Structure 1
Amino acid sequence: MNPQPRRTHQLESAVAATPASWLAILGVLAGALGATLAPWLFAAITTQLAFLWLMVLFALTWDVMGGQMGYNSFGNIVFFGVGAYVCAVAQRDLGLGYFPGLATGVGLAALAATGVALALGPAMLGLRGHYFAIGTLGLGIAFADAAAGWSFIGAGSGMTLPLFPGAPGSRQLFFYYAMLALAAATLLALRWLYARPFGLALNAIRDDEEKAEALGLYTTRCKILAWCICALFLGMAGALTGNLVGFIDPRELAFAGATFGVWMVVMAILGGKGTLWGPVIGAMLFHLTQELFWTYLLNWQRVALGMLIVLIVVLFPTGIMGWLREYRARHGGVPGRAA
């Protein structure tokens, strides 16, 4: 057989795909440049920009369970809170200085959050459907009440973090880039995992867990591993967020299930759960809208945010990425381009 026609076809396909590839590369580079320059161009809202990357991380980690695997968890906030407190205690009690203490605290926070996921996983992930969702919701409430009653970590009065040893404004800048790096690392790590057999295993559990078990897949192990991956990144995010804010409140920050715990779900649904970029897009849109509400709808911002959540769930059940897939299926192209 002459291989020349096949090689010619492959070359033509590569050439045809080049414009789209270059556009994707340019888009990534433009996004990276914008993220790098953002705190310098908008110095007054550096903290809000840092929270943007926290929202992206929230949505990405929730989607591992809720989108890729089909297990809707309301307890992921537990790992965030554990990470925040473990890092704060390490910085307070180890006496290593600010930056060595911070680095040690972030590492211990990741280990502690992963350990909690590993300990709770066998019991919680034996539940399915609504039972799992309700059980994880109870976990968040239990951890919040336990933290509010434990004097070692400040109880209901909260816990103050060490002062950042730098010029005014440098703390926000430092933790902005730390949050950005952590969110980027989370995205890249999940992209790598989804392209491996582990990603197929998660989707198999979502589609039909009984059939996956019948085919020899160790579903419980996969579920526990997925939860531990979420906990790893959430623990580090909690450690950084506590230092960014400078104060940890058990119910308003560490185990804020009514806000952070719900927003994780909403952001992933808005962008399109079960996709890689959907949670990123959903988190950015949600955070931008939320900040606009907080700025222009004073005293009504929570009402507007609650209505936004209802509209997202009702009008965008498949999210932005899902709508794009449906459009392509109907019209054979993308919006704005002829089929």
Structure 2
Amino acid sequence: MAFLWLMVVFALTWDVTGGQMGYNSFGNVLFFGIGAYACALVQRDSGLGYFPALALGVPLAAIASMLAAAVLGPAILALRGHYFAIGTLGLGIAAADIAAGWNYVGASSGMVTPLFPGAIGGREKFFYYLLFAIVALAFITLRRLYAGCFGLAINAIRDDEEKAEAMGIRTTRHKIMAWCISAFFLGLAGAVAGNLVGFIDPREFAFAGSTYGVWMVLMAVLGGRGTLWGPVVGACVFHITQELFWTYLLGWQRVVMGLFILGVVVFLPKGIVGWLRRQEAHK
């Protein structure tokens, strides 16, 4: 259940740029990995107790991820279309290779987070509520942003960026802001998820582009990209479906998951929320 909230964060944050702004990123997992490593390093090197170090590490992880987005944003967001998608994909791959060769963060051997001091089973419950709090914060923040001038600006960029610029919208600034917002919440989620799992592997967890990076896109598309509730619905359906596949179709789960992804793209191009809206409009 804790991972369900993590999936919701993935989908919500990807949709800021991919759905609301029309910039399809395959590298948002970069900010998740930065958050996981930043928090773990603070916990390891600060000399504080578990909870004080965690309380310090989580916000610092979010800030580190947001700063990375702010630094990379002007160059990467200057790209458009499939060039942007390929560029962001390269970011995630490069980050995984750098982490795998950097001894300070454990290199390819990975990094173990500090042991949770509570009772057996308490760690899962604690991080369940913490991830739920991040989901609630992200949802409320995005709802307010989408309802204001920021939401109108990034929707205008999605519809026609040249016309948006001609109308006086500072498109570059809004694009970087959108990416930084995504990075902030992914950094929070990465910090918490790293402690939940207890081990940070550079390729299989922190910068797992072939899983987390793809799932972000799929969940938003499944639920309905460009909507507030679509990513939430898509994440819930995807996570439950994935758990059922792994439970009852062991050995064939990846084949069935591939067919599931194909079905989503072919039969639900507007997502579940988009389909429900069409049904409601036809009544």
Q: Secondary structure at the match of 1:325?
A: helix
2:167 matched to 1:215? Answer: yes
Structure ID, larger Rg: 1
Structure 1 residue 73: deviation in Å? 0.4
2:1 matched to 1:52? Answer: no
Aligned pairs for 1:254-273 (under 5 A) are 254-273=206-225
The one-letter amino acid of 1:226's match is A
Structure 1 residue 80: deviation in Å? 0.1
TM-score (norm 1): 0.83
Query: What's 1:125 paired with?
Result: 77
Aligned pairs for 1:71-82 (under 5 A) are 71-82=23-34
Q: Secondary structure at the match of 2:31?
A: helix
In structure 2, what is the Cα distance between the partners aligned to 1:98 and 1:223? 37
In structure 2, what is the Cα distance between the partners aligned to 1:302 and 1:90? 36
In structure 2, what is the Cα distance between the partners aligned to 1:251 and 1:315? 32
Match of 1:140 among 92, 95, 104: 92
Query: What's 2:282 paired with?
Result: 330
Query: What's 1:44 paired with?
Result: none
The one-letter amino acid of 1:225's match is M
Task: Find runs of 4+ consecutive structure 1 residues off by over 4 angstroms.
Answer: none
Query: What's 2:261 paired with?
Result: 309
Match of 1:204 among 144, 151, 156: 156
In structure 1, what is the Cα distance between the partners aligned to 2:196 and 2:184? 19
Aligned pairs for 1:139-178 (under 5 A) are 139-178=91-130
Structure 1 residue 326: deviation in Å? 1.7
Structure 1 residue 307: deviation in Å? 1.3
TM-score (norm 2): 0.99
Q: Secondary structure at the match of 1:68?
A: coil
Query: What's 1:61 paired with?
Result: 13
Q: Which residues of structure 1 form unaligned runs of 5+?
A: 1-48, 332-339
The one-letter amino acid of 2:84's match is F
Aligned pairs for 1:64-103 (under 5 A) are 64-103=16-55
Structure 1 residue 325: deviation in Å? 2.1
Query: What's 1:277 paired with?
Result: 229
The one-letter amino acid of 1:161's match is T
Structure 1 residue 299: deviation in Å? 1.3
Structure 1 residue 121: deviation in Å? 0.2
Question: What is the root-mean-square deviation of aligned Cα atoms in Å?
Answer: 0.6
Residue-by-residue CA offset, 1:217-267 (whole Å, 9 max, x unaligned): 000000000000000000010000000000000011000000000000000
Structure 1 residue 88: deviation in Å? 0.4
Structure 1 residue 190: deviation in Å? 0.3
Residue-by-residue CA offset, 1:2-60 (whole Å, 9 max, x unaligned): xxxxxxxxxxxxxxxxxxxxxxxxxxxxxxxxxxxxxxxxxxxxxxx000000001000
Q: Secondary structure at the match of 2:19?
A: helix
